[in-house]
Amino acid sequence: MASFHHAPVSKGLMLSVGAFSLIFSLFDIKHYIHLQLSPHISRDHQYWRLLIHQLACGTSGDLLLTEILLFTAAIEVERQFGSLKFASFVFVSTALSATLLFAALLLFHGLSLNTVPPGPFALVFAILYQYHRLVPSSYDYRIFLVTFSNKSHIYLLATQLMISGMPGSVVASLVGLLASQLYNSDIVGLKVYRLPGWAQRLATRYLTPLIGSTRAPRRSNLAIPEPVNVTLPSTENTEVITTSTAPPAEAPEAPTTGTSVVREWMNELTGRRGLREPSATEIEEVIGMFPDVPRQSVIVALRQTPNTESAVEILLRANER
């Protein structure tokens, strides 16, 4: 099950992008996250837009794609890096992307590149570069003689995000890839940079409570069948009265019909047989194998299986979920 376990920075990124996008939209101040070389930079010298425009997405479609990509890629990269190194990587790649994007606007201004759509395009693609480098694919599949991996749909969504606001979105995405590659090559020692201690303390004190818990969900034992209460007729104080000295003749067995055979076969397939009472030795043996599983769950598994091995298989499958 996917979770934010060992990924508090990724959860903070997703919450921040979503919250800022909502705030800028509700208060109708999206014009502050637009980035244009002219007039914002060249005439008004609003260099702060190089950083502010990465805080929020301009459209709901970009926000959806950004959140999906962050949830898929950022969590895996943070678990590989560690939270401190990943937070430092986010800070370095964001600052480096802003510098490279400003240079790209100056360089390609003559090719009608003047506007960059709002959104963390550069940061998302910087994380995707590390995701592609660090996380291997789990399996491959083929559609119409074309081979894909389990990561192909992530790259397809990334391509859709890249072309959502051409040409500015393409340039910002390529800048993010370049920034991540420069970080990985460690040309200027960016790889060894870590956030200072005071920033770590502030984040731990003020930001961690806002992010909330990132513990993995507790695995439940609900997959183990619940105990079935079977009430057997009591044999106490039951007197058998007979008026014959000879034992009663046994009734002839009813011929097995097609319906009873099918019913027995279905019961074998579905496991709906009579419950058995496990011995104390079997119970203690299985409890020794699964000390964390409640005793009642072990007894239920033994009652509903013909032997100890089958009960162990049920408990193993339940713990793997």
Residue 197's domain is classified under what CATH number? 1.20.1540.10
Strands 115-116 and 140-143: what pairing?
Answer: unpaired
pLDDT value for 77: 94
Alpha-carbon span 97 to 54, nearest angstrom = 10
pLDDT mean over 20-25: 93
Alpha-carbon span 165 to 171, nearest angstrom = 10
Is residue 3 included in any domain, yes or no? no
Is residue 48 included in any domain, yes or no? yes
Burial class of 167 by CB neighbour count within 10 A (0 to 12, 13 to 18, 19+) = middle
Residues 275 and 184 in one domain: no
What amino acid is encoded at 132 in this protein?
Answer: H
Of 171, 131, 177, 175, nearest to 154 by C-alpha is 131
**SS3 letters across the chain:** CCCCCCCHHHHHHHHHHHHHHHHHHHCCCHHHHCEEHHHHHCCCCCCCHHHHCCCCCCCHHHHHHHHHHHHHHHHHHHHHHCHHHHHHHHHHHHHHHHHHHHHHHHHCHHHCCCEECCCCHHHHHHHHHHHHHHCCCCCEEEECCEEEECCHHHHHHHHHHHCCCCCHHHHHHHHHHHHHHHHHHCCCCHHHCCCCHHHHHHHHHHHHHHHCCCCCCCCCCCCCCCCCCCCCCCCCCCCCCCCCCCCCCCCCCCCCCHHHHHHHHHHHHHCCCCCCCCCHHHHHHHHHHCCCCCHHHHHHHHHCCCCHHHHHHHHHHHHHC
Of 225, 215, 217, nearest to 317 by C-alpha is 225
Q: Tell me: pLDDT of 270 over 80.
A: no
Please, which pLDDT band fits residue 218 given cuts at 50, 70 and 90? low
Q: Tell me: pLDDT of 278 over 70.
A: yes
Residues 175 and 313 in one domain: no
CA distances from 121 to 83, 98, 115 (A): 21, 11, 14
Alpha-carbon span 53 to 102, nearest angstrom = 12
Is residue 93 included in any domain, yes or no? yes
Total number of domains constituting the chain: 2
Residues 206 and 107 in one domain: yes
What is the number of residues in the chain? 321
Residues 153 and 295 in one domain: no
Residues 198 and 306 in one domain: no
Alpha-carbon span 172 to 160, nearest angstrom = 14
Residues 206 and 314 in one domain: no
Q: Which of 177, 211, 245 is the last residue of a domain?
A: 211
Residues 154 and 292 in one domain: no
Is residue 263 included in any domain, yes or no? yes
Residues 163 and 31 in one domain: yes
pLDDT value for 227: 55
Residues 89 and 161 in one domain: yes
Q: What is the pTM of this model?
A: 0.66
pLDDT value for 90: 95
Residues 14 and 117 in one domain: yes
CA distances from 319 to 297, 308, 316 (A): 12, 17, 5
Q: Which of 145, 177, 211 is the last residue of a domain?
A: 211
Q: Which of 193, 211, 229 is the last residue of a domain?
A: 211
Residues 289 and 194 in one domain: no
Is residue 229 included in any domain, yes or no? no
- Residue-range definition of the domain harbouring residue 48: 8-211
Is residue 246 included in any domain, yes or no? no
Q: For the CA atoms of 211, 6, 215, 312, what is the dihedral angle to 10 degrees?
A: 160
Is residue 254 included in any domain, yes or no? no
Task: Note the pLDDT tens digit of each residue in 64-109.
Answer: 999 999 999 999 999 999 999 999 999 999 999 999 999 999 998 8
- Work out the percent of the chain whose per-residue pLDDT is above 90: 38
Task: Note the pLDDT tens digit of each residue in 114-148.
Answer: 889 999 999 999 999 999 999 888 888 898 888 98
Is residue 88 included in any domain, yes or no? yes
Residues 202 and 71 in one domain: yes
